[in-house]
A = this chain, B = another copy of it.
Amino acid sequence: MDYEKYIFIGIGLIGGSFAIDIKKHYPDTVLHGISRKDETLNKALELKLIDKKATLDDLENADLVIVSIPVDATVKLLPTILDKIGDNTLVVDAGSTKEAICKSVEHHKRRRNFLACHPIAGTEKSGPTAAISGLYKGKTNIICEVEKTTFKLQEKALDLFRAIGMRIRYMDAVSHDKHIAYVSHLSHISAFMLGKTVINKEKNERDIFDMAGSGFESTVRLAKSSPAMWTPIFKQNKENVIETLEEYINNLQHFKELMQQDNFSEIFNEMENTNYIKQILNGIK
Protein backbone atom coordinates (compact mmCIF):
# COMPACT_ATOMS: atom_id res chain seq x y z
CA MET A 1 0.00 0.00 0.00
CA ASP A 2 1.13 3.51 -0.80
CA TYR A 3 1.74 5.76 2.15
CA GLU A 4 -0.89 8.37 2.81
CA LYS A 5 0.00 12.01 3.16
CA TYR A 6 -1.57 13.76 6.15
CA ILE A 7 -1.03 17.46 6.68
CA PHE A 8 -1.56 19.19 10.02
CA ILE A 9 -2.26 22.90 9.83
CA GLY A 10 -1.46 23.88 13.38
CA ILE A 11 0.47 21.34 15.39
CA GLY A 12 -0.13 22.31 19.01
CA LEU A 13 -2.04 20.49 21.76
CA ILE A 14 -4.94 19.47 19.50
CA GLY A 15 -3.12 18.78 16.22
CA GLY A 16 -0.10 17.26 17.95
CA SER A 17 -2.22 14.89 20.04
CA PHE A 18 -4.01 13.77 16.87
CA ALA A 19 -0.62 13.22 15.24
CA ILE A 20 0.62 10.98 18.07
CA ASP A 21 -2.44 8.73 17.94
CA ILE A 22 -2.64 8.68 14.15
CA LYS A 23 0.99 7.58 13.91
CA LYS A 24 0.24 4.79 16.34
CA HIS A 25 -2.83 3.50 14.49
CA TYR A 26 -1.68 4.31 10.94
CA PRO A 27 2.09 3.80 10.96
CA ASP A 28 2.25 4.00 7.16
CA THR A 29 1.11 7.60 6.97
CA VAL A 30 3.58 10.42 6.51
CA LEU A 31 2.71 13.34 8.69
CA HIS A 32 3.42 16.86 7.50
CA GLY A 33 3.10 20.08 9.44
CA ILE A 34 2.25 23.65 8.51
CA SER A 35 2.48 26.48 11.00
CA ARG A 36 2.73 30.24 11.01
CA LYS A 37 5.76 29.94 13.24
CA ASP A 38 8.83 28.02 12.11
CA GLU A 39 9.71 27.58 15.78
CA THR A 40 6.53 25.53 16.31
CA LEU A 41 7.31 23.33 13.31
CA ASN A 42 10.87 22.73 14.48
CA LYS A 43 9.60 21.78 17.92
CA ALA A 44 7.01 19.43 16.37
CA LEU A 45 9.76 17.79 14.29
CA GLU A 46 12.01 17.49 17.33
CA LEU A 47 9.18 15.85 19.28
CA LYS A 48 8.55 13.57 16.25
CA LEU A 49 4.92 14.71 16.09
CA ILE A 50 5.42 15.21 12.34
CA ASP A 51 7.81 13.71 9.82
CA LYS A 52 8.20 16.72 7.51
CA LYS A 53 7.46 20.41 7.12
CA ALA A 54 5.02 21.43 4.39
CA THR A 55 3.44 24.52 2.85
CA LEU A 56 -0.06 25.23 1.54
CA ASP A 57 1.14 24.22 -1.93
CA ASP A 58 1.53 20.66 -0.67
CA LEU A 59 -2.20 20.41 0.02
CA GLU A 60 -2.96 19.36 -3.56
CA ASN A 61 -1.95 15.76 -3.08
CA ALA A 62 -2.78 15.42 0.62
CA ASP A 63 -5.11 12.61 1.67
CA LEU A 64 -6.13 14.25 4.92
CA VAL A 65 -5.76 17.80 6.23
CA ILE A 66 -6.39 18.45 9.93
CA VAL A 67 -6.90 22.11 10.76
CA SER A 68 -6.37 22.97 14.42
CA ILE A 69 -5.60 26.63 14.69
CA PRO A 70 -7.52 29.43 16.46
CA VAL A 71 -11.07 29.69 15.09
CA ASP A 72 -10.56 33.16 13.57
CA ALA A 73 -7.59 31.81 11.61
CA THR A 74 -9.70 28.82 10.51
CA VAL A 75 -12.43 31.08 9.17
CA LYS A 76 -9.85 33.08 7.21
CA LEU A 77 -7.77 30.19 5.93
CA LEU A 78 -10.36 27.47 5.26
CA PRO A 79 -11.51 28.81 1.84
CA THR A 80 -7.86 28.94 0.70
CA ILE A 81 -7.29 25.42 1.99
CA LEU A 82 -10.26 24.16 -0.03
CA ASP A 83 -8.97 26.08 -3.07
CA LYS A 84 -5.69 24.20 -2.89
CA ILE A 85 -6.64 20.62 -2.07
CA GLY A 86 -7.14 17.78 -4.54
CA ASP A 87 -10.42 16.11 -5.49
CA ASN A 88 -10.08 13.36 -2.90
CA THR A 89 -8.58 15.29 -0.03
CA LEU A 90 -10.53 15.24 3.23
CA VAL A 91 -10.29 18.38 5.39
CA VAL A 92 -11.40 18.31 9.04
CA ASP A 93 -11.21 21.08 11.61
CA ALA A 94 -11.31 20.98 15.40
CA GLY A 95 -12.70 24.39 16.30
CA SER A 96 -14.77 25.14 19.39
CA THR A 97 -17.26 27.13 17.29
CA LYS A 98 -18.99 25.71 14.24
CA GLU A 99 -21.43 28.20 12.72
CA ALA A 100 -18.89 30.77 11.47
CA ILE A 101 -16.54 28.07 10.25
CA CYS A 102 -19.26 26.28 8.29
CA LYS A 103 -20.47 29.58 6.92
CA SER A 104 -16.99 30.50 5.67
CA VAL A 105 -17.11 27.70 3.10
CA GLU A 106 -20.84 27.16 2.60
CA HIS A 107 -20.69 28.09 -1.07
CA HIS A 108 -17.23 26.74 -1.81
CA LYS A 109 -17.07 24.32 -4.72
CA ARG A 110 -15.10 21.93 -2.51
CA ARG A 111 -17.49 22.15 0.47
CA ARG A 112 -18.03 18.39 0.16
CA ASN A 113 -14.38 17.76 0.99
CA PHE A 114 -14.75 19.41 4.40
CA LEU A 115 -16.04 17.81 7.62
CA ALA A 116 -16.78 20.24 10.47
CA CYS A 117 -15.69 18.67 13.77
CA HIS A 118 -15.33 19.60 17.40
CA PRO A 119 -13.49 17.03 19.46
CA ILE A 120 -14.44 17.67 23.10
CA ALA A 121 -10.97 17.11 24.43
CA GLY A 122 -8.08 19.21 25.57
CA THR A 123 -6.24 20.53 28.55
CA GLU A 124 -5.47 24.06 29.67
CA LYS A 125 -2.05 23.78 28.02
CA SER A 126 -1.09 24.70 24.47
CA GLY A 127 1.64 24.27 21.87
CA PRO A 128 3.38 21.13 20.54
CA THR A 129 4.94 20.27 23.90
CA ALA A 130 1.41 19.94 25.32
CA ALA A 131 0.52 17.16 22.85
CA ILE A 132 -0.19 13.82 24.53
CA SER A 133 -1.06 10.29 23.54
CA GLY A 134 -4.63 9.13 24.15
CA LEU A 135 -6.13 12.62 24.49
CA TYR A 136 -9.13 11.59 22.41
CA LYS A 137 -9.78 8.15 23.82
CA GLY A 138 -13.39 7.90 25.03
CA LYS A 139 -14.06 11.55 24.18
CA THR A 140 -16.94 12.89 22.09
CA ASN A 141 -16.38 14.32 18.64
CA ILE A 142 -19.24 16.53 17.52
CA ILE A 143 -19.70 16.54 13.77
CA CYS A 144 -21.82 19.29 12.22
CA GLU A 145 -23.59 19.42 8.85
CA VAL A 146 -22.45 15.87 8.10
CA GLU A 147 -24.79 15.70 5.09
CA LYS A 148 -22.68 18.34 3.31
CA THR A 149 -19.63 16.06 3.17
CA THR A 150 -19.05 13.40 0.51
CA PHE A 151 -20.04 10.04 1.96
CA LYS A 152 -16.71 8.38 1.13
CA LEU A 153 -14.84 11.11 2.98
CA GLN A 154 -17.23 10.88 5.95
CA GLU A 155 -16.34 7.21 6.15
CA LYS A 156 -12.64 7.93 6.03
CA ALA A 157 -13.00 10.42 8.89
CA LEU A 158 -15.13 8.07 10.98
CA ASP A 159 -12.64 5.24 10.58
CA LEU A 160 -9.94 7.53 11.87
CA PHE A 161 -11.94 8.91 14.80
CA ARG A 162 -13.04 5.42 15.84
CA ALA A 163 -9.50 4.10 15.59
CA ILE A 164 -8.33 6.65 18.15
CA GLY A 165 -11.27 5.84 20.41
CA MET A 166 -13.69 8.73 19.88
CA ARG A 167 -17.47 8.65 20.25
CA ILE A 168 -19.30 10.41 17.44
CA ARG A 169 -22.21 12.81 17.87
CA TYR A 170 -24.05 14.64 15.08
CA MET A 171 -25.51 18.10 15.54
CA ASP A 172 -26.37 21.19 13.55
CA ALA A 173 -23.90 24.06 13.84
CA VAL A 174 -26.34 26.51 15.46
CA SER A 175 -27.28 24.05 18.22
CA HIS A 176 -23.63 23.18 18.75
CA ASP A 177 -22.68 26.80 19.34
CA LYS A 178 -25.62 27.40 21.66
CA HIS A 179 -25.00 24.39 23.89
CA ILE A 180 -21.22 24.58 23.90
CA ALA A 181 -21.51 28.13 25.24
CA TYR A 182 -23.01 26.63 28.41
CA VAL A 183 -20.92 23.54 28.90
CA SER A 184 -17.57 24.92 27.79
CA HIS A 185 -17.28 28.62 27.01
CA LEU A 186 -18.97 29.80 30.21
CA SER A 187 -16.70 27.57 32.34
CA HIS A 188 -13.71 29.37 30.90
CA ILE A 189 -15.05 32.83 31.69
CA SER A 190 -16.10 31.68 35.15
CA ALA A 191 -12.56 30.44 35.82
CA PHE A 192 -10.83 33.47 34.30
CA MET A 193 -12.91 35.90 36.34
CA LEU A 194 -12.42 33.86 39.51
CA GLY A 195 -8.67 34.03 38.92
CA LYS A 196 -8.88 37.76 38.27
CA THR A 197 -10.93 38.42 41.40
CA VAL A 198 -8.54 36.56 43.64
CA ILE A 199 -5.37 37.96 42.03
CA ASN A 200 -6.68 41.54 42.26
CA LYS A 201 -7.62 41.15 45.88
CA GLU A 202 -4.56 39.33 46.98
CA LYS A 203 -1.88 40.92 44.80
CA ASN A 204 -0.15 42.57 47.71
CA GLU A 205 -0.23 39.46 49.81
CA ARG A 206 1.09 36.76 47.57
CA ASP A 207 1.81 34.29 50.30
CA ILE A 208 -1.92 34.13 50.96
CA PHE A 209 -2.04 31.64 48.12
CA ASP A 210 -0.73 28.86 50.29
CA MET A 211 -4.21 29.08 51.83
CA ALA A 212 -5.58 27.87 48.53
CA GLY A 213 -6.26 24.18 48.21
CA SER A 214 -7.15 21.71 45.53
CA GLY A 215 -10.70 23.07 45.32
CA PHE A 216 -9.54 26.51 44.22
CA GLU A 217 -7.02 24.91 41.91
CA SER A 218 -9.68 22.83 40.19
CA THR A 219 -12.17 25.69 39.85
CA VAL A 220 -9.64 28.15 38.45
CA ARG A 221 -7.69 25.70 36.26
CA LEU A 222 -9.15 26.87 32.94
CA ALA A 223 -7.79 30.38 33.64
CA LYS A 224 -4.46 29.02 32.46
CA SER A 225 -5.91 28.66 28.96
CA SER A 226 -4.51 30.46 25.93
CA PRO A 227 -5.99 33.93 25.26
CA ALA A 228 -5.00 33.59 21.59
CA MET A 229 -7.21 30.55 21.31
CA TRP A 230 -10.11 31.79 23.44
CA THR A 231 -10.55 35.41 22.32
CA PRO A 232 -11.72 34.43 18.81
CA ILE A 233 -14.00 31.73 20.25
CA PHE A 234 -15.78 34.31 22.40
CA LYS A 235 -15.93 36.66 19.41
CA GLN A 236 -17.47 34.07 17.09
CA ASN A 237 -19.92 32.84 19.70
CA LYS A 238 -20.65 36.29 21.10
CA GLU A 239 -24.46 36.18 21.31
CA ASN A 240 -24.64 32.77 22.95
CA VAL A 241 -21.82 33.52 25.37
CA ILE A 242 -23.39 36.82 26.45
CA GLU A 243 -26.65 34.98 27.12
CA THR A 244 -24.93 32.37 29.33
CA LEU A 245 -23.02 35.11 31.13
CA GLU A 246 -26.22 36.99 31.88
CA GLU A 247 -27.83 33.91 33.36
CA TYR A 248 -24.72 33.12 35.37
CA ILE A 249 -24.51 36.68 36.72
CA ASN A 250 -28.22 36.59 37.61
CA ASN A 251 -27.75 33.35 39.52
CA LEU A 252 -24.78 34.77 41.43
CA GLN A 253 -26.70 37.97 42.13
CA HIS A 254 -29.64 35.93 43.46
CA PHE A 255 -27.28 33.93 45.69
CA LYS A 256 -25.81 37.18 47.02
CA GLU A 257 -29.27 38.57 47.75
CA LEU A 258 -30.24 35.41 49.60
CA MET A 259 -27.15 35.90 51.75
CA GLN A 260 -27.97 39.55 52.37
CA GLN A 261 -31.48 38.50 53.41
CA ASP A 262 -30.03 35.81 55.71
CA ASN A 263 -32.14 33.31 53.81
CA PHE A 264 -29.79 30.43 54.44
CA SER A 265 -32.46 27.75 54.14
CA GLU A 266 -32.91 28.79 50.52
CA ILE A 267 -29.12 28.84 50.05
CA PHE A 268 -29.10 25.27 51.33
CA ASN A 269 -31.78 24.40 48.73
CA GLU A 270 -29.84 26.07 45.92
CA MET A 271 -26.81 23.94 46.70
CA GLU A 272 -28.77 20.77 47.25
CA ASN A 273 -30.54 21.15 43.91
CA THR A 274 -27.24 21.75 42.18
CA ASN A 275 -25.75 18.61 43.72
CA TYR A 276 -27.64 16.95 40.87
CA ILE A 277 -24.49 17.78 38.90
CA LYS A 278 -23.02 14.61 40.45
CA GLN A 279 -25.23 12.41 38.30
CA ILE A 280 -24.47 14.52 35.25
CA LEU A 281 -20.73 14.31 35.80
CA ASN A 282 -20.94 10.56 36.32
CA GLY A 283 -22.53 10.48 32.88
CA ILE A 284 -19.56 12.34 31.37
CA LYS A 285 -16.96 9.85 32.54
Chain A residues packing against B (C-beta within 8 Å): 120-124, 139-140, 142, 167, 169, 176, 179-180, 182-184, 186-202, 205-206, 208-225, 227-228, 230-232, 234-235, 238, 241-242, 244-249, 251-253, 255-256, 259-260, 262, 264, 267-278, 280-281, 283-284
Contact B268 A227 (CB under 8 A): yes
Residues of B within 8 A of A121 (CB): 213-214
Give the residues in chain B near A246, CB-CB below 8 Å. 256
Residue from the list B140, B189, B274 in contact with A223, Cβ < 8 A: B274
Cα(A37)–Cα(B210), bound, Å: 34
Given the contacts A186-B198, A213-B120, A274-B223, A256 and B249 also touching, CB distance less than 8 Å: yes
Query: If A182-B198, A198-B182 touch, does A222 touch B225 (CB 8 Å cutoff)?
Result: no
Q: Is the CB of A122 within 8 A of B215?
A: yes
Please tell me how many copies of the chain the complex holds. Answer: 2
CB distance from A226 to the nearest CB of B (A): 8
Contact in complex: B244, A248 (CB < 8 Å): no
Q: How far apart are the CA atoms of A210 and B271 in the complex, in Å? A: 23
Residues of chain B within 8 A (CB-CB) of A276 are 195, 199
Residues in B with CB closer than 8 Å to A122 are 213-215
**Dominant secondary structure of chain A at its interface with chain B:** helix
Structural contact, B252 and A210, CB atoms closer than 8 A = no
Cross-chain contact B216 with A219 (CB below 8 angstroms): no
CB neighbours (8 Å) of A248 from chain B are 193-194, 197, 252
Contact B211 A188 (CB under 8 A): no
Q: Are A284 and B212 in contact (CB under 8 A)?
A: yes
Query: Is A222 a contact partner of B215 (Cβ separation < 8 A)?
Result: yes
* CB closest residue in chain B, given A189: B255
Partner of A209, one of B192, B218, B270, B284: B284
Cβ distance A144 to chain B, nearest Cβ, rounded Å: 12
Taking A139-B213, A244-B201, A252-B249 as contacts, is the C-beta distance between A221 and B223 under 8 angstroms? no
With A210-B283, A227-B271 known, 12 other A-B pairs at CB within 8 A are A120-B210, A122-B213, A167-B210, A183-B213, A184-B215, A187-B216, A189-B255, A199-B273, A217-B281, A224-B277, A224-B281, A231-B264
Complex contacts, A210 vs chain B, CB 8 Å: 120, 140, 167, 169, 283-284
| Known pairs A197-B244, A211-B180, A256-B242; A224 contacts B278 (CB<8 A) | yes
Instruction: Rank and list the top 5 A-B pairs by shortest CB-CB distance, nearest first.
Output: A227-B271, A183-B212, A187-B219, A195-B277, A120-B213
Q: Which of B193, B205, B275 contacts A252 (CB 8 A)?
A: B193
Is the Cβ of A271 less than 8 Å from the Cβ of B230?
yes
